[in-house]
Structures are given as C-alpha cells and as structure tokens.
C-alpha cells in the first residue's frame, strides 16, 4: 500500500469508529428483580450478566456496543413487569429483552414481545408454557418439569414408597407438584397428601406439621429459590421432620448453592435434581467458579441463577456478533433456535422446535465438602428436553 492509500485507510477507520452513524449500539432491556423479599435470585442472575459482559465486551465486532438498560420488577408482579416492558420497548427502543425471574412476569410480557417483535431471552422463569406464549421467546434456564419429573421417577425406584408434596401456590409450584406426582406414581410411588403454601409472606411451620402428621417416607417441596428456600428448610428442621425420618427432596431451587451454609446441618442429605451445582464436574465449571470468586469474593459460590444470567448473555453476544450489531428479530430467533454452548453446567442447546433449553439434569445430595455444604452430583441424565412439552406433544 502506498502512503496516500495508507492515509486514506487510516482516515476511513477513524471515521468509522468516531461516527455515530457507523457504530452500532445494541440496546438490551433487562427486567429483573432487584429489590424486596424476592430479590435474591435476581441479584445472582445480575452477577452472571455482569461477569459475562466484563469478560467478553472486548470480543464484540469493531464499532458494536451493548447498552444494558436494567429495570426492577420488584418480585412476582406481572403489572409492574408489563409496564417496564412497555417502557423499554416504546420509549427506550430496546432491540432485545432478557432477564425475568418470575413466571407471572414472563406471562404478562409475552404478548408485548410478540406485538413489538422484540426477542426475549428468559433467564429464569420456569413454567413450561412460557415459551409457547410467543414465537419471540427463547429460554436459557429450565422448566420445573426438567427437574421434578425425573426426580419423581428416581424416588419411586429408590425405596421411597410414599410422598407428600408441598409447593408454593402459583404456576411453577403447580408444575413442580404435577411433574413430581406423575414421575413418582408412574414408577409405583404413592402420594399421601399435597398442600399449596402461599407465595407471599409464607409461614411454613403449619404446612410442615401437616406433612409430618401424614407420615410419608419423603416430603417433596418447591418454593422459589432464595430466602423462602432458607425459611422452608428451617421450618423442616424446627418441626422435626428430619428426626421423624422423613426425607426432604425437591428441585434444586430448595438447596441453592449460595444458601446452603445459611441453612445449616438440617440440609445435609437432602436430595434434589437440577442442572447446575457449584461443585459440578462439567469441564468449564472450575474456571467459572474461579472467575466468579475473583469478581465477587472468595467466600462466594455461584448458584444456578448466576449461570443462567451468564449463559443468557453468551446467547445475546452470539446473536449480536452474527448480525454485526444490526438486530433483526426474525433472524435473531433463527440464530437462537439450535444455539449451542459449553456452559459451566455442561453442554446446552436451545431446542429448535420449542425454543426451550435442552440440558443435563443432575441428581445431587447435600454433603460437606471442604467445610462447606455442597450439592454433590451423583447421577447425570443427559440432554433433557422439557418433559412437559414432550409428554403433551406441544411446542
Ligand atoms: C418462577 O417464578 O418461574 C420461578 C422463580 C424461582 C424459582 C423457580 C421458578 O426458583
């Protein structure tokens, strides 16, 4: 290249990077729970988002930037979530939406993303039908059926003959209950009672007493991860179910990694099914845990919501990179269908038919590892598709 051409090229590059017209800023609206008694999963998810951004911002194409616009839905509050989504879409003109801890919020937002054609990457909310509510929704988290259906089958085949179920009284609780009961009874187990517990301000002790009085071999529990999981574990201990020989089992939401030490010894031996454990053996997990601790503190352990936020950002980065920052909603959904990633939880994929996640489920038992209570993985069920959709042959 001669000198004149070199100078021309340098001017072109300078113009490209300096000009607002050429640079692409992709606006991503994050609707998450940042305040109130339901905020813990949201804060963990936010850490995953932050960590991925920090590690990978440099990998974006030249001139492409991501602007995250974060909003607080304050908990399972569909009206708040809907208003926030409306504002993000119409006023802030986001090209993508992500986050959403709670199912009622995802259900409220679904019609808006369909109408506006703004792809939504669900990073937690777990009722199976969410992905069916809009062709512009893909999920990187899980459904309650992923965990609770195979757990029911496992329990019946491992000498648990009777079970009692206690779940939060909202859609994910109903899903967990139905999934567990189906898996358990199909494999020969018997349900001796079921109860629904209030989602707002629950006092778990009376429900634990009812479960104890029914004398089941196992108590299956689902409550949202976070402070409620710690409270239900405490009530399980205080009411004396463990001493009465009743085994506590459930989806891994009830033994989240970051809450285990706060739960204390009552959590020992609790058996759960989930897609991630901080002591999991997936190839990428050791580096993930180290990066998390370098960022947030040596005493911190990542929980499943962190991984979901992190992996959700990986999906977002990939669709932005593939389109060089110019987001087309339909192209984005095509890119998400069949998207694959080597996650800290193991390999994951977005099912092209349902836009729901396909991932390993791990059977885990709470044990003490290096002085900390941990979800130690014992069995792996590889690449599970949402069993509810498979059983109902719907998409
Ligand atoms: C949900 O509302 O979909 C939800 C929230 C917290 C969980 C699981 C599911 O731990």
Element (H, E) at 54: helix 40-56
Mutate to test the pocket of ligand 1, among 225, 305, 356 (most ligand atoms within 8 A of CB): 225
Cα-Cα-Cα-Cα dihedral sign, residues 171, 176, 177, 182? positive
Chain-centroid distance of CA 18 in Å reads 38
Please answer whether residues 38 and 76 qualify as being in contact, where contact means their C-beta atoms are separated by less than 8 angstroms: yes
Q: Which parts of 117-199 fold into alpha helices (H)? A: 144-157, 171-186
Q: Is 39 in the pocket of ligand 1 (CB under 6 A)?
A: no
Predicted pLDDT of residue 364: 98
Q: Rounded to the nearest 5 degrees, what angle is found at the Cα of 323, between the Cα atoms of 317 and 329?
A: 90
* Residues facing residue 208 across a β-bridge: none
Q: Is 251 in the pocket of ligand 1 (CB under 6 A)?
A: no
Predicted pLDDT of residue 23: 84
Cα-Cα-Cα-Cα dihedral sign, residues 357, 358, 362, 368? negative
- 15-25 residues labelled b (16+ CB within 10 A) or e (exposed): eeeeeeeeebe
Predicted pLDDT of residue 393: 82
Q: Is 32 in the pocket of ligand 1 (CB under 6 A)?
A: no
252 CA → ligand 1 middle, Å: 11
CA distance 170 to 199: 7
Cα–Cα distances in angstroms (integers) from residue 248 to residues 52, 147, 176, 272, 351, in the given order = 34, 15, 15, 9, 32
Closest CA relative to residue 352, chosen from 302, 306, 395: 395
Q: Is 274 in the pocket of ligand 1 (CB under 6 A)?
A: no
Q: For the chain of 395 residues, list the mean pLDDT of each consecutive stretch of 10.
A: 53 48 87 98 98 97 97 98 98 98 98 98 98 98 98 97 98 98 98 97 97 98 97 98 98 97 97 98 97 97 98 98 98 98 98 98 97 97 97 73
Return the half-sphere exposure (C-beta side, CA atoms, 13 A cut-off) of residue 357. Answer: 32
Closest CA relative to residue 394, chosen from 355, 360, 358, 359: 355
9 CA → ligand 1 middle, Å: 53
CA end-to-end span of the chain = 56
Predicted pLDDT of residue 183: 98
10 CA → ligand 1 middle, Å: 52
Element (H, E) at 12: helix 3-18
Element (H, E) at 289: helix 285-296
* Model confidence, pTM: 0.94
Residues sharing a CB contact under 8 Å with residue 260, sequence separation 6 or more, in sequence order: 267, 366, 372, 373, 374, 375
Q: Is 172 in the pocket of ligand 1 (CB under 6 A)?
A: yes
Predicted pLDDT of residue 181: 98
Q: Is 41 in the pocket of ligand 1 (CB under 6 A)?
A: yes
69 CA → ligand 1 middle, Å: 22
216 CA → ligand 1 middle, Å: 26
């Amino acid at each position: 290249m001669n000198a004149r051409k070199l100078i021309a090229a340098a001017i072109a590059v300078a113009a490209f990077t300096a000009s607002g017209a050429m640079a692409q800023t992709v606006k991503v609206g994050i609707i998450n729970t940042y305040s109130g008694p339901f905020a813990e999963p949201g804060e963990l998810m936010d850490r995953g988002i932050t960590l991925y951004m920090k590690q990978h911002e440099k990998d974006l194409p030249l001139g492409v930037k991501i602007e995250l616009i974060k909003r607080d839905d304050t908990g399972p509050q569909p009206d708040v979530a809907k208003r926030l989504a409306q504002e993000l879409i119409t006023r802030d003109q986001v090209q993508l939406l992500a986050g959403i801890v709670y199912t009622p919020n995802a259900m409220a937002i679904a019609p808006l993303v369909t109408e506006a054609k703004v792809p939504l990457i669900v990073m937690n909310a777990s009722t199976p039908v969410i992905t069916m509510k809009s062709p512009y929704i893909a999920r990187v988290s899980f459904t309650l059926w992923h965990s609770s259906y195979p757990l029911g089958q496992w329990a019946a085949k491992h000498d648990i003959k009777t079970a009692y179920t206690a779940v939060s009284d909202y859609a994910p609780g109903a899903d967990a209950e139905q999934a567990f009961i189906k898996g358990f009874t199909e494999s020969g187990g018997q349900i001796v009672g079921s109860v629904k517990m209030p989602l707002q301000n629950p006092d778990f002790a009376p429900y634990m007493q009812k479960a104890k009085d029914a004398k089941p071999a196992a108590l299956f529990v689902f409550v949202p991860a976070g402070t409620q999981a710690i409270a239900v574990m405490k009530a399980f201990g205080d009411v004396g179910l463990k001493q009465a020989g009743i085994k506590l089992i459930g989806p891994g939401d009830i033994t989240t990694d970051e809450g285990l030490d706060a739960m204390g010894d009552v959590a020992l031996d609790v058996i759960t099914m989930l897609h991630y454990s901080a002591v999991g053996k997936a190839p990428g997990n050791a580096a993930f845990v180290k990066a998390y601790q370098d960022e947030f503190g040596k005493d911190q352990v990542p929980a499943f919501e962190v991984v979901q936020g992190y992996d959700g950002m990986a999906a977002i980065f990939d669709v932005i990179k593939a389109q060089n920052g110019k987001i087309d909603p339909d192209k984005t959904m095509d890119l998400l269908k069949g998207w694959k990633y080597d996650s800290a939880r193991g390999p994951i994929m977005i099912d092209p038919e349902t836009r729901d996640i396909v991932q390993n489920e791990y059977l885990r038992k709470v044990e003490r590892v290096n002085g900390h209570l941990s979800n130690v993985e014992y069995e792996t069920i590889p690449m599970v598709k949402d069993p509810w959709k498979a059983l109902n042959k719907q998409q």
